[in-house]
Structure formats: C-alpha cells, structure tokens
Structure 1
Amino acid sequence: MTAGQLMQTMTALGFEHRWLEDEFVAESMRQGERKQGKEHHYVPQMYLKRWAVDGKVQPVLTDRRQVLRPQPPKEVAKKTNFYSLPAPGSTMDEPLRWVEKHLSRIEDECAHRLDQLEQWGSGVMSDDDLKRDLSVFLGLQITRTPVSRERHLVVIKGPVAAKREFYRRLDPRLTEADFQDMLDRADPDARVEAITLMFSDVRRAVARSLYQREWAVYRTAAPIVTCDDPVVILAGPPHGREVTLGVMPSAVVLYPLGPQHLLVMLRPGLRHSGRYVLDRDETRSINHEIVAAATSMVFERPGDNIAVHLEVPTRAGVPELDDEQTAGLGAAAALRLLLNDATARSRWAGVPDAPGWPVPRWYTQ
C-alpha cells in the first residue's frame, strides 16, 4: 500500500481529527524520512515517566510476579522495528518508516493534555477539545500494542467467509463488490496490513466510542500502577468475569493518569455518581484489574511494591483460525470462531473465585 493509498483509506473513515488528516500524516511522512531509530515504543515514554522516581520506573513481570530492576522509560515497553517491519535485506519502506514519528508527534502534543486532565483534580471532565484529543490518543494506545497487533493478524489471515460477514456487520452498506475491492487493496504482507488497521480502527470506531462516553477523573486513596496495555476495558455486569468485549459495548474503560489519578469512562446511559475518590479497597480492586489487563508487564513507582502482591491467572494464548477449521461452516458460525480468536482473553475465564467487577456504583443507570 502506498502512502497516498493509506492516507485515502484513513480519510474515508469516521472520526474527524487533525491528527488523522492528510496534512498531519504527510508531515509525519516528511519527518519520518530522516528517522533512523529502530526501537519503537508501544507505550509512550512520556506516559511512563509519570511513574518515574529519579528517572526510573519499576517493571514487574505479571505471570511470574517477578520484580525487575528499575529502568528508564525508554528501556521498557518497546520492540525493534515494531512499526517499520522492513522486509529481510531491505531498507525501511516509506509508508511504514514514518509511523513511529507520527505517533511521537501526537504523544508530544498529548503530554500536556494528560497534565491538564490530572490537574482537573477529580470530577466529571467537561472540556470538549481535551476529550476529542485524548479520544484519538487513547484509541491509538488501544490499537498499537503487540496483543492488538496479534488480534489484527487473526482477522487479516482469517477465512474469507468469516471476514465477509465481519465487515458486513461492521458496515451493513458494504456490497460484495466493496468487499472484493477491500481484499484486492489489502497489502500482501499481513504485518503491513495490520499497521493500516491500527489507524483505521481508531477512525472507524474506537475514537468515537471513547468520545461518546461519560468521562470523569478519580483520585485514589493509595497509589495505582499501570501496564503494557494501559487502557483497561471492563465488560461489567450482567456479564461474568470471563467475558471481554470491545470499547463500544463495555460498561467501563479505565486509564491510569498517574500514581494518584484514574480516568474513568462510562458507557452512555451510565452515570458517575457520589464521590470522585476511590477508597483503599476500591483502589486495590482497580490495581488488580490493571495487573490482570497486562500482556506481560506492570509498571509502578520504585518502592510502591504493589503488583507483586496481586496474583492473577496466566493469560491464555490465542489460537490461529484457518480455512480448514471453518470448512462446511456457514458465514455466521465462521464469524463466531473468528471473533472468538480475535477477542482478548480474560485472565479470569474459568476461574471459580474470580473477583467481582470493581466499584459497583459505576454500573447503575
């Protein structure tokens, strides 16, 4: 896919914001031509610095409950060539080389947006411009992580019948000709196509779903942690703890702003009520959710010593769906298998003594 085709794809999608428009993307591409770095961060350094003490954060391996040595934010939550994905023996391809620069430009502008939100103190957030900016930033944070990349690859590599039903439900106006054109335009390299979906998901659905929620900032009675997948999505009751849903239908979306502040985004129809301070028990339950949401690593302030005392089940792997598995299935059945494999796995699935959903007052009408 060329740079022009990618910009055309992004422009044709839903949520309008200057960070997703042609001019901003083109400037990222120009600046990206000069970018040489290969270490790409999927959690922004400027965000992790909010937990730094003397320039270092405390990483904890989730499944092992192993505390690692404190490290600078630039040394964690990164992968080599995660956004560039150069072909073996070749130089970085232009439509890909710029992606880290594009994300870093948005992060630079959002650093003080997060400060503004934290300085809100507590209560309902009513600044519309701030909300729009952070909807894009948080949407990209959801779609840029390694586990999100894996789920995109499941959809990209999935059976044609399942993908056809998937996109028809996403857009009921989609014709067979539209679907075939989509398949024809898809990049033959599934990894490249996954990067395209990273942006298109934000503009098509994720940013708008976040923006339409009821936002409030809560202070916490004790420190909170963050993790390598820091936008935490809670399906909420009446669903059981084994259920994971996307941004739109889930009851609550959480985002730690720092060691003492939490952004809480409720589904339309739910309302923040009562105090905007989480007591110690509620704070502990939130920390438990953040640790459970981690792909592999939690981050906290050195000395807080929180994550190591919160045990969570090991996360199950994601199987790969193929045409052989779906042979003879109808489109709807194939779609169910595809969505099952492309959905994040809850650590609480099959756990008989899983904790209840945190902060019950969030789930009432």
Structure 2
Amino acid sequence: MVTGEQLMQMLAALRFEHRWLGDEFVAESIRLGKAENGKEHHYVPQMYLKRWTVGEKVQPVLVDRRKVLPPQRPKEVAKKANFYSLPAPSGTMDEPLRWVEKHLSRIEDECAHRLDQLQRLGSGEVTDDELKRDLSVFLGLQVTRTRAHRTRYLLLIKGPAAAKREFYRRMAPNMTDADFRDMLDRTHADAQAEAITLMFSDVRSPVAASLHMRQWAVYRTETPLVTCDDPVVLVAGPPAGREDTVGAPRSAVVLYPLGPHQLLVMLRPGLRHHGGYVLDEEETRSINHEMVAAAESMVFERPGDDIAAHIEVPARVDVVEPSDERAADFDPGDALRVMLHGATARSRWAGVPEAPAWPVPRWYVL
C-alpha cells in the first residue's frame, strides 16, 4: 500500500498538464470574459443538477434546519453574486478576475458529455484515460473553489513568511529557498487576484494529479442518491478518525454522485474495488449520510424522493475568511495549522462522541 508520505513525494514531482489549465485556453477565456456582465455565478454546475430534475425542477433541502424548500429549476439554486470573481476591496470588477466564471463554464460545457459517458457505462471500472484526465481537472476545480480553500490561499499570500516556508517545505519538498524567494517576488500585488492563481495551481498539483492516479469505478445503487452543494466528497477513511479531513491526495475515497442511481468512486492507490459495483440499500444510505454531512448548507434530490430531510447531522462550523490585514497578523503557528488542515471545511463529526462508521467498509480492505 502507498503510504501518505510516499504519495506526497510522488505528487511533489508531478505537475498535471492539461489544455484547460494552459495559457491558450486561459487567454481565450479572458477574451470571452470581457463581454461578461452577469454577476450570478453557479458554484454547482447547472448541467450537473439537471440530473436530479423531475419536470425540470430539483428539490433543495437546507441541511442544518432540515427544511425542504419548494422545487426549483437548477438555474435558480446554488448560485452567489461574484462567487468566482473575488472582487477587490474597492468593489470594482477587475478584468483579470472577471474571466474566471467564463473559464469554468467552458470547462463545464465540455465535461457534460464526459459525465454522460460515465452514465452510459452503467457500472464498472473506468479505464478511459482521456476521460479521467478531463474529469480530474473538472472535479479538481470543484474541490478548490471552496471558501475554506480561499482562507488558506489568503494566508499563503499575506500570512507570515515563516509559516509559508514551512508549509512549502512539507508540501513541496523539492522547493529550494531560492525557489521560495522567487515565488514571493512573483506574487500578484492584489491578494484576491493571487487567490485565483493559487486555485488553478492547486488543481495542477496536487489535486488533479491525485484524482487521476486513483482507481476509478462507477457504482449503481438500488435506492436513490442525493447530492449537495460541495459534491466532490473526500472520505479520509480508517485509520483516520471521523473528525479528520486530510485533503484530496490522502483521502482513502473520493465520491461524486453522477445521478440518482450512479456514483463515481475514486480509491487511493493501494486500495481496490471489492465485492461488485452495486451498492445495496444500507450502503446507499451510508453514502447519502456522507453527502448530507459534506454539504456546506444545501442538499439536492429529485422531487418526491424525500431523503435528505430525514438525515440528521451536526451543524456546520462556519468558515470565516480573514481580511488581508487579519491574514498578515496571524501567529505563524496558527497560520501553518490553517494552511495544512484548513483546505477543507471542518468535519461535522469533530467532537461528536457517536459519529457513524466510515461508509462502505469493503473500500478500505487491502
């Protein structure tokens, strides 16, 4: 089995190259973004939520209140003003930031048919490497756009230099002191704009790289699945505790529902898919519990399935984004802890004495 240290060493030497992360694709997005006037950005793609629609509407459920909202069209939910643009403190929409929504929507459009390919597979191992490469970028961007990631990015930009150097010493062992100084010299003066740069950098390495090297398979379910507003779910798995969030590279399992009866499961190198590619009713129930717990605030299901409101999870601890000034004042030790462990929102199970077992135990058998 590949250890966590070996995996991080492998990823440190690997840079994931893809045209969607390249200069030419970015330049085209910037050109197209100049004409963008819309401010409502969907942080869960509409084409994805359409897979749970009945009569062109999806059922939203507020997790912490267990409140079922009226069915709505996908374009009416999972959106926020200027979510990807990260406007500067002046409130202006700087041109280099405005293109990001266009860039992500272009990738989503191209990935829609990739998700269709997985659905047509029905169930079984995913062996198409080009499909895996495309979806590794798409899913990687879904992971790195969270508010918790932005908090880490702001600390990497504005936080204490000592904490930043220690972070990169652990995460990028090949980086020399000269490389580190050069990186600091190249940092964008606008922290919000630099956060976008770091988001794409994280996708190149380690997130997309770590997803691509996993063992992918599509599972069918006997009962319906839900999804949520943070649908790429990282399952740390044993021997980690339920309070642990260990990030994309080290999580035992990464989950992504493809629709009401299909689930993409990506296992860490060294683990194998055991026992067939169908989840029974109890296994599916455990996945739905995981999806509800992973939600920042909202779960989505087909109207009439009536699943999410009956699943109770602890309240989410809110992620507070520090201002540029606050980031600069962080204690180096506190800043390093956030950089290392704040890349994902805290587990809802932290401090809960009777947290559920990790879902689908057969996935963690060597």
TM-score, L = length of structure 2: 0.90
Change (3 A) 1:337 1:261: closer
Question: What's the CA shift for 1:189?
Answer: 2.9
Contact 2:32–2:102 at 8 Å: present in 1 too? yes
Matches within 5 A, 1:107-146: 107-146=108-147
Change (3 A) 1:335 1:88: closer
Question: What's the CA shift for 1:72?
Answer: 1.1
Task: For residue 238 of structure 1, give the secondary structure of its aligned residue in structure 2.
Answer: coil
CA distance in structure 2 between the aligned counterparts of 1:150 and 1:73, rounded to whole angstroms: 28
Q: Name 1:56's counterpart in structure 2.
A: 57
Q: Which stretch shifts more, 247-256 or 175-184? A: 175-184
Contact 1:225–1:307 at 8 Å: present in 2 too? yes
Q: Name 1:25's counterpart in structure 2.
A: 26
TM-score, L = length of structure 1: 0.90
Change (3 A) 1:301 1:150: farther
Q: Residue type matched to 1:305 in 2?
A: D
Q: Which stretch shifts more, 252-261 or 51-60? A: 51-60
CA distance in structure 2 between the aligned counterparts of 1:90 and 1:238, rounded to whole angstroms: 46
CA distance in structure 2 between the aligned counterparts of 1:227 and 1:285, rounded to whole angstroms: 15
CA distance in structure 2 between the aligned counterparts of 1:231 and 1:251, rounded to whole angstroms: 13
Q: Residue type matched to 1:44 in 2?
A: P
Q: Which stretch shifts more, 288-297 or 78-87? A: 78-87
Q: Which stretch shifts more, 231-240 or 93-102? A: 93-102
Q: Name 2:6's counterpart in structure 1.
A: none
Percent sequence identity over aligned pairs: 73
Question: What's the CA shift for 1:315?
Answer: 1.6
Matches within 5 A, 1:323-338: 326=331, 335-336=336-337, 338=339
Contact 1:43–1:145 at 8 Å: present in 2 too? no
Q: Name 2:9's counterpart in structure 1.
A: none
CA distance in structure 1 between the aligned counterparts of 2:68 and 2:155, rounded to whole angstroms: 32
CA distance in structure 1 between the aligned counterparts of 2:103 and 2:54, rounded to whole angstroms: 28
Task: For residue 149 of structure 1, give the secondary structure of its aligned residue in structure 2.
Answer: helix
What does the per-residue CA deviation read over 1:116-168, in whole Å, with 9 as the maximum and x for residues that have no partner?
10111011111111111111111011112334333433443432211111112
Contact 1:60–1:308 at 8 Å: present in 2 too? yes
Matches within 5 A, 1:172-183: 172-183=173-184
CA distance in structure 2 between the aligned counterparts of 1:311 and 1:281, rounded to whole angstroms: 16
Contact 1:158–1:338 at 8 Å: present in 2 too? no
Question: What's the CA shift for 1:256?
Answer: 0.3
Change (3 A) 1:147 1:55: farther
Question: For structure 1, which runs of at least 5 residues remain unmatched after alignment?
Answer: 1-12
Task: For residue 247 of structure 2, give the secondary structure of its aligned residue in structure 1.
Answer: coil
Is 2:226 aligned against 1:221?
Answer: no
Question: What's the CA shift for 1:240?
Answer: 1.3
Task: For residue 50 of structure 1, give the secondary structure of its aligned residue in structure 2.
Answer: helix
Q: Name 2:78's counterpart in structure 1.
A: 77
Matches within 5 A, 1:1-365: 14-87=15-88, 91-318=92-319, 326=331, 335-336=336-337, 338-365=339-366
Task: For residue 248 of structure 1, give the secondary structure of its aligned residue in structure 2.
Answer: helix
Task: For residue 347 of structure 1, give the secondary structure of its aligned residue in structure 2.
Answer: coil
Change (3 A) 1:325 1:92: closer
CA distance in structure 2 between the aligned counterparts of 1:263 and 1:126, rounded to whole angstroms: 13
Question: For structure 2, which runs of at least 5 residues remain unmatched after alignment?
Answer: 1-13
Change (3 A) 1:246 1:35: same
CA distance in structure 2 between the aligned counterparts of 1:293 and 1:96, rounded to whole angstroms: 28
Q: Name 1:7's counterpart in structure 2.
A: none
CA distance in structure 2 between the aligned counterparts of 1:334 and 1:187, rounded to whole angstroms: 20
Contact 2:159–2:329 at 8 Å: present in 1 too? no
